[in-house]
Structure 1
Amino acid sequence: MKIAVLAGDGIGPEIIAQAVRVLEVLKADGLAIELEYGLIGGCAVDATGEPYPEETHRLASQADAVLLGAVGGPQYDALPRQQRPERGLLAIRKKLNLFANLRPAMLYPELANASSLKYDVVAGLDIMIVRELTGDIYFGEPRGIDVRDGQRVGFNTMLYSEAEIRRIAHVAFQAASKRQSRLCSVDKMNVLECTQLWRDVVTEVSKDYPQIALSHMLVDNAAMQLVRNPKQFDVIVTGNMFGDILSDEASMLTGSIGMLPSASLDENNKGLYEPIHGSAPDIADKDLANPLATILSVAMMLRYTFNQEDAAQRIENAVKQVLAQGIRTKDIAEPGMESVGTHAMGDAVLSSM
């Protein structure tokens, strides 16, 4: 199992280090794991002038999966847009054709009080958001900033082809078939023709999955319903921009963005796995970051790309055991509760494994 490890910026190297320790345990126990390291984001700009260097692309292309930390930092904000660390993320997703982003939002019972919502609203929460990742307004052309009638005008194009919608719909229906067989497709068809096509195509694809209960919801209502009654959802499928917003909203229902992993897959289940949080430069190198989302991303990697269900469950069970023992990093600690650092949390997970 060839894994490209891209630690990135900020807290990326710290959290990746703990995930690599988990992989080394699995390797020592018999899994054939090979790790190679590369640069992405700000550290790549510092070293090569590009956020996604050709050497990193070669490494990622030849690997079976990619494990990524986080990118970005305030020191890069003044760079030209094409050199900003976030362009590295967009580039690797596009060049590897990672079109399907899977973001689970599951609330561990021990963390129910960490959520900003009432316990009875979020207890037992388990949602999967399937976000299309390589189309939409993030990649549509034309785009840019022009001068028109003497003033600057910024413009972007929301664009989806039927084929792009169809393939992400299949991923979402298949995900729903392994869960509670309910799929909610989110769009803005009342004002956007692009998402009218989205609704039409998703409805057409639903004919291939008669066992799945399909519903549709406008994105503004979906944002409200995620706060009002999040447990009504099982799987949500939506486009790139709406998914970017809704998945971050859903993450906070669970108490901490530091707990949630993600997978970005191509048509053959080759994937890029990363925590959904950012680089958190304000706590970098302070042994404060929560590594659990990155460790759980390894579990998703083992499940979706390598079909190693037992190893994936071993990691997830270890995380559950650590939380049951009351071990917390600062972001998920309740008032008055003692917290541990990044490395100590990694120690606890390894001990439970």
Structure 2
Amino acid sequence: MNSYDITLLPGDGIGPEVTQSVHAVMEVLQQRFPVRFNIDIKAVGGEAIDKFGEPLPQETIDSCLNSDAVFLGAVGGPKWENKGVYESPEWGLLKLRETLKVFSNIRPLSIYEDLNQFSPLKNDLIQGVEMVIVRELTGGIYFGNKHRSDLYAVDQCTYTENEIIRVTKVACELAMKRKRRLVSVDKANVLETSKLWREVVTRYVTEAFPQIHLEHQLIDSCAMHLVSNPRQFDVILTENMFGDILSDISGALSGSLGMLPSSSIGHKYALFEPVHGSAPNIKGKGIANPYASLLSLEMMLRWLGESKIADHLARAIKQAIQDKCFSKDLDKNSHFSTTDITLSVTSNILSI
């Protein structure tokens, strides 16, 4: 029996609700398969600020560094909006990514046919859409030097050649397993960091992965194409802020950000989390969409090498969607709660 140490970080807003769903599904997977999850629950974000006075306490860091994988719910909320940049819940997440050295964020998008009705795009545009966005995660403007006065503010964006190469390698390895098509997104007509990005990506792909068809698009053009012709994309590679923007746009294709999972991968550690954020407006109402978290759990299982279990979980999730277990962010008339959807998935795990 394989045994894994998992650090679970519920966080803020609906984070505790969706991670509770993940916890419940892991418990059932242990019943169905010869696997053991040793779960250590720790504080992060606003919850950690309230308990420890900082968004990423040392005991949380220690647990994450000693785990086989880390699962995060969400951070942030209006309660902590007046905190300084380095005392905010979001800084706890940024610091966690930096501590774990998870430099590549992988955000897959698959369109479930049963959810086509909830997309704002026409069916003929989203039919068969299957893509992955690879976002550089520990560089760029989010991590650059920051300064603020009454009259001006500065956010510095920097990238090094090595930072660009290592995330490009991840994107290329994914592309080689797919259709061997890679679109690199930048703003090279304006930004010096983007000019470097384009030069390094071009050189690296040409030399290391000549089998891959490489195309460059500007961020504004790519955003337009993402909603006008999404089937053209297979693997999208881009820097930190642009990846944040494009992956949220891709959420519209599926009908809701509540359907988008993600993994953040480094050379040693991995962090898994839904894309949707803390959604404080629906906290405690029992209507949070757990699908993104459960799909992130599927990604975690694959990263751990448990592909058989991951495949089974994917089938269980698909069956729940086919049974029209829709959350309210997808269907405002739905009567299914977070718990209802979780029970549907766990039932499917035991029965299929």
* Fold equivalence (TM over 0.5): yes
The residue type paired with residue 293 of structure 2 is T
Shift of 1:79: 2.1
Partners of 1:134 and 1:15 in 2: how far apart? 25
Partners of 1:54 and 1:212 in 2: how far apart? 43
Partners of 1:166 and 1:271 in 2: how far apart? 19
Counterpart position of 2:21:
18
Counterpart position of 1:8:
11
The residue type paired with residue 154 of structure 2 is F
Counterpart position of 2:139:
135
Shift of 1:80: 2.5
Partners of 2:184 and 2:84 in 1: how far apart? 36
Shift of 1:62: 0.7
Q: How does 1:1-353 map to 2 (within 5 A)?
A: 1-28=4-31, 29-141=33-145, 143-146=146-149, 152-206=151-205, 207-268=207-268, 270-304=269-303, 306-333=304-331, 338-353=334-349
Shift of 1:232: 0.4
TM-score if structure 1 supplies the norm length?
Answer: 0.95
Q: Give secondary structure in 2 for the equivalent of 1:287.
A: coil
Partners of 1:263 and 1:233 in 2: how far apart? 19
Q: Give secondary structure in 1 for the equivalent of 2:335.
A: coil
Partners of 2:328 and 2:128 in 1: how far apart? 23
Shift of 1:33: 1.7
Q: Deviations over 1:25-61 (max 9, x none)?
A: 2223311321111000111000001011111111111
Partners of 2:334 and 2:166 in 1: how far apart? 46
Q: Give secondary structure in 2 for the equivalent of 1:136.
A: coil
Partners of 2:330 and 2:315 in 1: how far apart? 18
Q: Deviations over 1:54-95 (max 9, x none)?
A: 111111111111011011111111223222111111010011
The residue type paired with residue 255 of structure 1 is G
The residue type paired with residue 76 of structure 2 is G
Partners of 2:193 and 2:40 in 1: how far apart? 40
Partners of 1:338 and 1:140 in 2: how far apart? 43
Q: Give secondary structure in 1 for the equivalent of 2:166.
A: helix
Shift of 1:200: 0.9
- Structure 2: stretches of 5+ with no match in the other structure: none
Partners of 1:14 and 1:195 in 2: how far apart? 39
Q: Give secondary structure in 1 for the equivalent of 2:152.
A: strand
Partners of 1:96 and 1:219 in 2: how far apart? 28
Q: Deviations over 1:10-29 (max 9, x none)?
A: 11111101111111122233
Shift of 1:327: 1.4
Measured at CA, do residues 79 and 140 of structure 1 come closer, stay the same or move farther in structure 2, by a change above 3 Å? closer
The residue type paired with residue 324 of structure 1 is Q
Partners of 2:200 and 2:133 in 1: how far apart? 18
Measured at CA, do residues 244 and 338 of structure 1 come closer, stay the same or move farther in structure 2, by a change above 3 Å? closer
Partners of 2:220 and 2:111 in 1: how far apart? 23
The residue type paired with residue 74 of structure 1 is P
Q: Deviations over 1:319-347 (max 9, x none)?
A: 111111111111122x6x54300001000
Q: Deviations over 1:216-267 (max 9, x none)?
A: 1111100111111011000000000111111101111111110111000112
TM-score if structure 2 supplies the norm length?
Answer: 0.95
Partners of 2:315 and 2:244 in 1: how far apart? 28
Shift of 1:211: 1.6
Q: Give secondary structure in 2 for the equivalent of 1:32.
A: strand
The residue type paired with residue 200 of structure 2 is V
Instruction: Give RMSD over aligned pairs.
Output: 1.1
Q: What percent identity do the matched residue pairs reach?
A: 45
